[in-house]
């Protein structure tokens, strides 16, 4: 349970009123890279096994400029834990993740956000699946509320109906809601709504922020974001994956790597051979500037996020997080810098 008198943090709406909010997501991919989580299953067992690692990643992202400490409960739901035989650890995992995030939020004065996501069981034609999905949302939201979450991020929904169901659970708990859809190759949700129409429905149902997250990289997310911005009045969220998607391969699942000299399982770089497609920090900064200029208020990165990319995004919208102390300054470089010795400058083009 929460402390009796926890320090009062600024609300989601107060933070948005002050300017763009930066939110780091992408914990699954980063902790997989660090060797604490299995690709494929992508279940956040690390919360139970190595909570100190999760705490440090929260701190790393906040240090880099995230205004939000997002509890690591993505895919920490009943269906995923059932698949790996850990359904009995569902509540300890959720409460543990929320308490880890709460500790960092309190020490950094960031927004404490719970997290719910696509259930992978939602089927609009199957009443049993709908009831099960609703129950999954309700139990995770209840734990987040009890642990003191300021808001809930509900993310990566392919169905408008599932997003609306998640939103209802959040609103029933009296919490602010950031709801983001996943745009696959098709320009519509799986139940047939255009993305602007789906976001309009979410806004009308009470979502405080709507938008897109995951699946698409900066190059293939910006256009749809502009359409969403024109369709809604509430704040808009944009959290792409930091990979170089393109018009022919618009999602990170669809990317192919003709330059790879070895065999990749299934011939598909997703999810663990995406390294050659990673955006650099300048590309992420440019996306942040473009998205903010287009009216996006909630900015972040999803799968593939790393602290230096979050810092680039934060700086691009005028923030100076603690990590900015260490932003690159090539004037100090031994060969390329303005202070370099003359002989080194003369040799620089031979490096």
Domain boundaries, the chain: 12-320
Contacts of 17 (CB under 8 A, 6+ apart): none
Identify the band that residue 8 occupies on the pLDDT scale cut at 50, 70 and 90: confident
| The pLDDT value given to residue 315 | 98
- 75 closest CA partner among 23, 124, 24, 121: 121
Q: Cβ(86)–Cβ(96) under 8 Å? A: no
How is domain 12-320 classified at the architecture level of CATH? Alpha-Beta Barrel (3.20)
| The pLDDT value given to residue 9 | 87
pLDDT digits 0-9 by tens, 32-87:
999 999 999 999 999 999 999 999 999 999 999 999 999 999 999 999 999 999 99
Rounded distance between C-alpha atoms, residue 163 and residue 2, angstroms: 27
pLDDT digits 0-9 by tens, 228-263:
999 999 999 999 999 999 999 999 999 999 999 999
| The pLDDT value given to residue 342 | 95
Rounded distance between C-alpha atoms, residue 281 and residue 157, angstroms: 27
| The pLDDT value given to residue 60 | 98
When the pLDDT of each residue in the chain is averaged and rounded to a whole number, the result is 96
Q: Cβ(317)–Cβ(19) under 8 Å? A: yes
Taking residues 275-286, what's their average pLDDT? Answer: 98
pLDDT at 4 over 70: no
pLDDT digits 0-9 by tens, 153-202:
999 999 999 999 999 999 999 999 999 999 999 999 999 999 999 999 99
Q: Cβ(161)–Cβ(129) under 8 Å? A: no
As a whole-number percent, the residues of the chain with pLDDT over 70 amount to 98
Rounded distance between C-alpha atoms, residue 217 and residue 187, angstroms: 14
Show the CA angle centred on residue 163, arms to residues 40 and 128, nearest 5°.
75
Identify the band that residue 6 occupies on the pLDDT scale cut at 50, 70 and 90: low
């Amino acid at each position: 349970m929460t402390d009796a008198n926890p320090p009062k943090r600024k609300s989601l709406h107060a933070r948005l009123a002050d300017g763009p909010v930066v939110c780091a997501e992408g914990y699954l991919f980063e902790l997989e890279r660090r060797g604490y989580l299995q690709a494929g299953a992508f279940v956040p067992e690390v919360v139970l096994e190595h909570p100190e690692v999760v705490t440090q990643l929260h701190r790393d992202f906040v240090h880099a400029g995230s205004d939000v400490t997002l509890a690591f409960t993505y895919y920490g739901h009943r269906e995923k834990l059932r698949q790996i035989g850990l359904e009995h650890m569902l509540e300890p995992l959720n409460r543990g993740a929320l308490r880890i995030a709460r500790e960092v939020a309190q020490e950094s004065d960031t927004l404490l956000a719970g997290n719910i996501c696509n259930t992978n069981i939602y089927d609009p034609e199957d009443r049993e699946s709908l009831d099960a999905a609703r129950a999954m949302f309700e139990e995770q939201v209840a734990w987040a509320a009890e642990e003191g979450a300021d808001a809930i991020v509900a993310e990566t929904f392919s169905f408008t109906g599932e997003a609306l169901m998640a939103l209802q659970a959040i609103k029933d708990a009296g919490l602010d809601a950031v709801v983001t859809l996943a745009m696959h190759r098709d320009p519509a949700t799986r139940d047939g709504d255009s993305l602007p129409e789906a976001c309009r429905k979410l806004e009308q149902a009470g979502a405080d922020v709507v938008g897109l997250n995951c699946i698409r990289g900066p190059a293939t997310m910006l256009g749809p974001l502009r359409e969403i911005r024109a369709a809604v009045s509430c704040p808009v969220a944009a959290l792409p994956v930091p990979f170089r998607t393109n018009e022919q391969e618009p999602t990170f699942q669809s990317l192919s790597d003709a330059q790879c000299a070895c065999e990749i399982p299934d011939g598909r770089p997703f999810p663990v051979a995406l390294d050659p497609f990673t955006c650099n920090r300048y590309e992420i900064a440019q996306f942040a500037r473009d998205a903010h200029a287009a009216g996006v208020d909630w900015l972040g990165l999803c799968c593939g996020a790393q602290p230096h990319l979050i810092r680039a995004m934060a700086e691009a919208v005028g923030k100076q997080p603690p990590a900015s102390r260490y932003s690159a300054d090539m004037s100090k470089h031994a060969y390329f810098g303005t202070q370099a010795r003359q002989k080194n400058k003369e040799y620089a083009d031979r490096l």
